[in-house]
Amino acid sequence: MRIAVPREIKKHEYRVAATPAGVHELTERGHDVFVEADAGAGSAISDEEYLAAGAKVLSKAEDVWAEGELVLKVKEPIEQEYSLLQRDQVLFTYLHLAPNRPLTDALINAGTTSFAYETVQLPSGALPLLAPMSEVAGRLAPQVGSYALLKPSGGRGVLPGGIPGVHPARVTVIGGGVAGINAARIALGMGADVEVLDTNVDKLRQIDNDFGGRIRTLTSNALTLEESILQADMVIGAVLVPGARAPKLISNAQVARMKPGSVLVDISIDQGGCFADSRPTTHDDPTYLVHDSVFYCVANMPGAVPRTSTYGLTNVTLPYALELAGKGWRAAARADEPLALGLTTHQGALVNEPVAIAHGIEH
C-alpha cells in the first residue's frame, strides 16, 4: 500500500505521525512510504533518517497527500488541508469532530474514509491511542499551570510546593482518568495540596491506593465540585466522554467567585472544553483572563514536547497502521473491534454516533 506522512501544519504542532522505526516496519512489509520533507524536524528527526529507513521524501504537501492510499497524521486536518482530502483515501489521525462542524462537513463532502485515534476503544473502555497523549497533557498541566500562577503571568503568585511555614498551592483535578491521574501525580510531586474528583468511586479507590492517601479523593457532584474549585489556586479539567463534546462543569458565575489569580487548565479543550468560558488557544498565546482567573486552553498541549509525544504516540499507533496497510481498512476493522470503533466517516456518511449526535446529523 502507498502510505503518506504529511508534515503537520497546525500552529506550533511539531509532532509527526511516523518515526523512522515505523517507516522501516512498513517498508519491510512491502509498503511504499512517502514522507513530506522536514516532517520530522520539529521532533528532531531528519529527512536522512527517513530515507535510510526506506521512505521517499517529497517536498510538496500536495504530492505527499496525492500518493496516500493511507494517510497517517497527528492532528485533525486544518482548513488549508481540506482540499487535499480524497475519496479513495483512508485517513488515520486525531479528529475531534464533535466540536468541529467544518471538518466534519469537509470529510463528508470529500468522501474520505477516516479513523479517529481518539475513539479506538478497548472492551475495558480504555482508549489506547489517546492514552499516551493524555499522559503527556496530564503531566504537562501542572507545569504550565504553575507558570500561569506566577504573578508576572497574571496569576495569584503562589508557589505550588509552598515553603516550610507557608501553605502549598491547592490543586483541584476534575476527572480521575489517565490525564487526571497524571496531572495529580505531577502536582503532588511539586508539593501541592491535591484533590481529585470523579463520579467513579472505583477510580478514586485506585488513586487512594496508588498514592497511599497523599491525594485527597472526592466523589464528584455539583456542590462538592463548587466547594473544591472555590478553594483552589489551580484547577485542571480532565474529563472525557469518548467522541462526544465534554460536559461544561464550571460556569462563568462560578469563575467570578474563584480566588483572584487562580488558574484553570482545560485539558478537555480538544473535545470542546469542560469550563463554560473555555476557547482554544495556541502555544504562543496560551492564556486569557475570565474575571480575575487565568484560563489555559491550548488544544494541542503534547505538541509542546514533540520529541516525547511523537515517540509516545507512534508506539501505539504503529500496530494499527500496520493492520490498516496490511489488510486494507475493511478487513482490518472486521478483525479488530477496537479499531472499528475509530471509523468515523466513509463515502460521505458519518458513522460515529457521538459525533453525529453532537451535530444533529443522521448516521
Catalytic residue positions, numbered: 96, 270
Is the CB of 118 or the CB of 198 nearer to ligand PYR?
118
Cα 342 to chain center, whole Å? 15
273 scored as a contact of ligand PYR (CB under 6 A): no
Exactly one of 133, 141, 192, 356 binds ligand PYR (CB under 6 A); that residue is: 133
Helix or strand run (H / E) with residue 182:
helix 178-189
Of 119, 122, 72, which is closest to residue 93 (Cα–Cα)?
72
Do 99 and 357 contact (CB within 8 A), yes or no? no
Exactly one of 302, 306, 312, 338 binds ligand PYR (CB under 6 A); that residue is: 302
Instruction: State which residue has the least CB distance to ligand PYR.
Output: 133
How many Cβ atoms are within 10 Å of 129's Cβ, its own excluded? 23
C-beta of 213: minimal distance to ligand PYR in Å?
31
C-beta of 133: minimal distance to ligand PYR in Å?
4
Is the CB of 130 or the CB of 332 nearer to ligand PYR?
130
Rounded CA separation 346/202 (Å): 37
Sequence letter at residue 92: F
DSSP characters for 49-106? HHHHTTPEEES-HHHHHHH-SEEE-SSPPPHHHHTT--TT-EEEE----TT-HHHHHH
300 scored as a contact of ligand PYR (CB under 6 A): yes
Is the CB of 228 or the CB of 271 nearer to ligand PYR?
271
C-beta of 93: minimal distance to ligand PYR in Å?
9
Binding-site size for ligand PYR (CB under 6 A) equals 8
Taking the CA of residue 23 as centre, how many other CA atoms within 13 Å lie in the half-sphere pointing to its CB? 27
Of 112, 88, 21, 183, which is closest to residue 344 (Cα–Cα)?
112
C-beta of 335: minimal distance to ligand PYR in Å?
25
Is the CB of 12 or the CB of 203 nearer to ligand PYR?
12
Helix or strand run (H / E) with residue 226:
helix 222-231
C-beta of 118: minimal distance to ligand PYR in Å?
6
Rounded CA separation 300/134 (Å): 11
Is the CB of 198 or the CB of 270 nearer to ligand PYR?
270
Exactly one of 94, 115, 275, 329 binds ligand PYR (CB under 6 A); that residue is: 94
C-beta of 141: minimal distance to ligand PYR in Å?
13
Is the CB of 169 or the CB of 299 nearer to ligand PYR?
299
Helix or strand run (H / E) with residue 266:
strand 263-266
Rounded CA separation 53/49 (Å): 6
Is the CB of 34 or the CB of 296 nearer to ligand PYR?
296
Sequence letter at residue 171: V
Do 278 and 249 contact (CB within 8 A), yes or no? no
314 scored as a contact of ligand PYR (CB under 6 A): no
270 scored as a contact of ligand PYR (CB under 6 A): yes
| Cell representation of residue 245 | 463534546
| Cell representation of residue 53 | 529507513
C-beta of 179: minimal distance to ligand PYR in Å?
10
| Cell representation of residue 65 | 497527500
Where do contacts with ligand PYR occur on this chain (CB under 6 A)? 75, 94, 96, 130, 133, 270, 300, 302
